[in-house]
Amino acid sequence: MSSNLTLSREDIVRLCERVEGAQTRAYAIPKLTDEYPGMTIADGYVVQSELRRRFIARGHKLVGWKAGLTSKAKMQQMGVSVPSIGFLTDRMARPENSAISTADLVHPRVECEVAFVMKETLHGPGCTAADVLAATDYVLPAVEIIDSRFSGFKFDLASVIADNGSSARFVGGGRPRYVEDLDLRTLGVVMEKNGEIVGMGASAAVLGHPAEAVAMLVNILAELGESLPAGSFVMSGGITEAVPVKPGDSVVARFQELGSVSMRFIE
């Protein structure tokens, strides 16, 4: 991570308020680097941390984290070699098989992911995939509903990180499993929208193994001065391409060995 901070305290608060407004009132904003072309990845995380601090101060509960940009293709596209991360709160959680409103989202898209629930706290740096597997209580299938708040899908890494990695909603479900009972590298996944297959892949699409993405997430947290506490819910990154959804759409994510997660979208 580039550690150089270019933003002043005033800039940070200003950008955080801009992102917070776009997230809570569901409107698109220009990418932040239009106004702050020198903005770095470290700046992005400072804005994200300020956003997290504000949500928690308002009573939102931090429930976990997510890794983004975990496929080779997306990393090459963004010119990075590590994933990005974002935080997850209780306000973003939606139950399995529920109706999810899109009125409070800008341009929602869905991705299939393997999610981890931790039984032990993990600290970086130096966290490995083996450490992650040893600290995992169980894994489960999840669908992440991402929502970039930037207009025209024009964004860059610093802006996306400030926007909390496009985090918006998530649905966990299916069948909880112990990691030792599975080959987490070769789990097949099919995403169906309105009964048609719209995404396919296997879990190795996430950095070769989803636990690798969680290990990198823990190491990024260490750079932010944070750890991954026991009980955290962690989404390890999209196995399938992000697919746009609109009111009336029904989505089912089917996972080998982990069951399925379903939801539908309404106004």
Chain contacts with another protein (rule: CB under 8 A): 72, 183, 185-190, 197, 200-205, 208, 239, 254-257
φ and ψ of 244, to 5 deg: -65, 145
> Shortest gap between Cβ of 33 and another protein (angstroms)?
31
Residue 14 or 193 with smaller CB distance to another protein: 193
> Shortest gap between Cβ of 68 and another protein (angstroms)?
18
Residue 73 or 266 with smaller CB distance to another protein: 73
Residue 44 or 68 with smaller CB distance to another protein: 68
Tell me: cis bond preceding 95? Omega within 30 of 0 counts.
no
The residue behind tokens 């931090």 is 62
> Shortest gap between Cβ of 132 and another protein (angstroms)?
19
Residue 64 or 210 with smaller CB distance to another protein: 210
> Shortest gap between Cβ of 185 and another protein (angstroms)?
6
Question: Is 142 within 8 Å of 170 (Cβ atoms)?
Answer: yes
Contacts for 152 with CB less than 8 Å, ≥ 6 apart: 28
> Which token pair is 266?
């309404």
Question: Is 234 within 8 Å of 214 (Cβ atoms)?
Answer: yes
Q: How far is CA 114 from CA 94, 139, 225, in A?
A: 16, 7, 25
Residue 160 or 187 with smaller CB distance to another protein: 187
> Shortest gap between Cβ of 205 and another protein (angstroms)?
4
> Which token pair is 217?
């997430």
